[in-house]
Amino acid sequence: MKKSGEIQKHTKGYTSAKYDSRSAEFKQEQKKAKEAAENQS
C-alpha cells in the first residue's frame, strides 16, 4: 500500500516531489542534530 504522501507527490508532479525530498532531508538533519545534543547531555 502506498502512503497518501507518495500519491500526492505523483499527482502534483516534479516540483512537489523536489520540495518533498528537500523537506525530508531537512527533517533528517534536524533529527541528527537533536540526537547529537541528547548524546552530549
Q: Is 3 part of a structural domain of the chain? A: no
Structural domain range at position 34: 15-41
Q: Is 4 part of a structural domain of the chain? A: no
Q: Is 8 part of a structural domain of the chain? A: no
Q: Is 23 part of a structural domain of the chain? A: yes
Q: Is 29 part of a structural domain of the chain? A: yes
Number of structural domains (the chain) is 1
For the segment 1-37, what is each residue's pLDDT rounded down to a tens digit?
455 555 555 555 666 667 777 888 889 999 999 999 9
Q: Is 34 part of a structural domain of the chain? A: yes
d(CA 40, CA 31): 14
CB distance 19 to 12 below 8 Å: no
Q: Is 2 part of a structural domain of the chain? A: no
Q: What is the reported pTM? A: 0.45
Place of cell 548524546: 39
Three-state helix/strand/coil letters over 8-34: HHHHHCHHHHHHHHHHHHHHHHHHHHH
